Structure 1
C-alpha cells in the first residue's frame, strides 16, 4: 500500500519540479558561434546581436617589452573601445596576433576597462602579446564576441546553469 502511494505521487512531484524550474533534465549548455575576426568589430552578445560597442586595433608593432627586454620581441598593440550610445559597462573581446593566412599565433582577452588612455582619447589602451615566432606576425585582429558573460554551466549548477555561453578564446593554430 505504501509503495502504491509513492508510485501515485511520483509523477505529480516530477511535474511540480519541472514547473518550478528545478528540472535538471532541461539544463543545456550552448556555445555561441565565433564571429568573424577583424581589425574593427561591432561587439556582439551571445545571440550575435550588436551591443552598441565598437572595438578596434589602432596600431601594432614588434618590440621588446620594457619589463623583460631579454625575452625578445613581442606584439605591442593599441586598441580603442567606442560606446555608440551603449552603456559604458565592462566589455571583453579576444585579441589575436595572426600570420598572413589569418592563423592565430597567440591570443588573449582585452578588457574595455584597460582603455584609460590620455585625456584626448580616454577609450584607448595598449597590451602585449607574446608569440613563439614574432617574425610571422602580419596583424592583430579582434573577435567580436563579448566574453564578459560569466554564466554558470550545467556542470556547476544544474538548476540555474545552462544557456548560451561565449565561444572559447582561440588557440594557437586556429584559423580566423
Structure 2
C-alpha cells in the first residue's frame, strides 16, 4: 500500500511539473525590460554595469578647456577635454556618457567616450574628445556618468523570447540635471 501512495504522489508531482513547464513555454510570462537608474556623475567615477555593480574599472576627466577645434576653427569654442580609463580593456572596455555642465550641474552638451579611445601607442590610457555647447561661457566643468553604455542587449520589442533584462539608462542629454 505504501508503494502505491509513493507512486501516485510522484505521478501527481510529475503532472504538475509538466503543466507548469508547458504553461511557461506557451504563455508570455513577461519578457521585461528594466532601465538602470543613472549613477552619480562626477569628475572621477567607478564604472557600473547594468546591475549597478562595479566593473573594476574607473574613469576620470583629467582636464578641460574651451578652444577652437583645429580642423574647424570657424565653429567657435568647443569643450576640449582629456579623460583616463583605469582597469579597462582596450577592446572590450566600457563606454561612459560625458557632459559639459554649468554651475548648477545642468548638461550643456553630452557625448559618449569609449575606453578604447584612451589607449595610446605608448601604453598611455588617456584620450581626448570635444563637446559642442551652445553657450561655451556657461561651462563650469565636465562630468562622467558611471553607467557603462557599451552593453545594449536586445529589448522585449526586438526579441520577446530572448530579449529583456536590464539595460543602461537613457544617454544623458542637454538639459539633464546631473
TM-score by length of 1: 0.85
Residue of structure 1 in register with 2:131 after alignment: 129
Residue of structure 2 in register with 1:66 after alignment: 70
Residue number among 109, 121, 134 corresponding to 2:112 in the alignment: 109
By how many angstroms is 1:117 displaced?
3.1
Q: Compare CA radii of gyration and give the structure with the larger one.
A: 2
Q: What are the Cα deviations for residues 116-139 of structure 1, in whole angstroms up to 9, with x where unaligned?
A: 2362x6110000001111110000
Q: Does 1:32 align with 2:58?
A: no
**Distance verdict in 2 for CA 1:149–1:116, change over 3 Å:** same
**Distance verdict in 2 for CA 1:153–1:87, change over 3 Å:** same
**8 Å contact 2:98–2:113 — kept in the other structure?**
yes
Residue of structure 1 in register with 2:162 after alignment: 160
Q: Does 1:95 align with 2:95?
A: no
**8 Å contact 2:89–2:116 — kept in the other structure?**
no
Q: Tell me the secondary structure at the aligned position of residue 69 of structure 1.
A: strand
Residue of structure 1 in register with 2:171 after alignment: 169
Task: Write the distance in 1 (CA, Å) between the matches of 2:51 and 2:75.
Answer: 40
Where do 5+ consecutive residues of structure 2 fail to align? 1-17
Superposition CA RMSD, Å: 1.8
Where do 5+ consecutive residues of structure 1 fail to align? 1-11
Q: What are the Cα deviations for residues 120-169 of structure 1, in whole angstroms up to 9, with x where unaligned?
A: x6110000001111110000000000011110000111111100000011
**8 Å contact 1:23–1:159 — kept in the other structure?**
no
TM-score by length of 2: 0.84
